Amino acid sequence: MQITLIFCGEPVNPPLLLFGICTTTAFVSMWMHNVATAMLMMPVATGILQRLPSTSQGTGRCKTIDNFCRAVVLGVIYSTAVGGISTLTGTGVNLILVGMWKSYFPEAGPISFSTWFFFAFPLALLLLFPLWGILCCFYIERDSARVLKNYLDKAHIKRELNSLAKDIFPNELSSLLM
């Protein structure tokens, strides 16, 4: 969430906020399984999107808000897959590939965590930027900052982050005891 704050700008720039959400999700997905990352990041994304008004009216303003919501949700979903490519632990299929590599090619060198990372991390970066660009082109309109600035502000995101920080100590204590 702190990374998202760095990218969102002042006043909040919707494409940069989307980029922050995508990069945060991809980074977390590098170290956790994709499904767990999506389950972790969707409440963060919906927490940001809950500030936006309901889009039940048929105005162009509501279309902008609706498209931004779609972009954020799709950004979280696709960024988990992109980030999971980067490391062996990010996606279960990567570990299956390592097992198959060992059984089918025993004379070949093993695929280590660092070997995979140096191969796949640049690929993930090459996929992340076009993903963000495509989401911006299809879902974020040019005047979206004007429409969304009344509902999204950096102070709100900071308040949400601070409210999450209150729960950190009990979580750390319970994980230490386990």
| CA 56 – CA 65 distance, rounded (Å) | 11
> pLDDT tens-digit profile of 135-177?
999 998 887 777 777 777 777 767 766 776 566 666 666 666 6
| CA 84 – CA 28 distance, rounded (Å) | 9
CA-wise closest residue to 76 among 121, 36, 116: 36
> pLDDT tens-digit profile of 36-78?
999 999 988 888 888 787 766 555 558 888 899 999 999 999 9
Where are the chain's structural domains? Answer: 2-162
pTM for the model stands at 0.80
| CA 7 – CA 19 distance, rounded (Å) | 7
> pLDDT tens-digit profile of 72-107?
999 999 999 999 999 998 888 888 999 999 999 989
| CA 9 – CA 44 distance, rounded (Å) | 18
> Tokens in use for 77?
């979903």
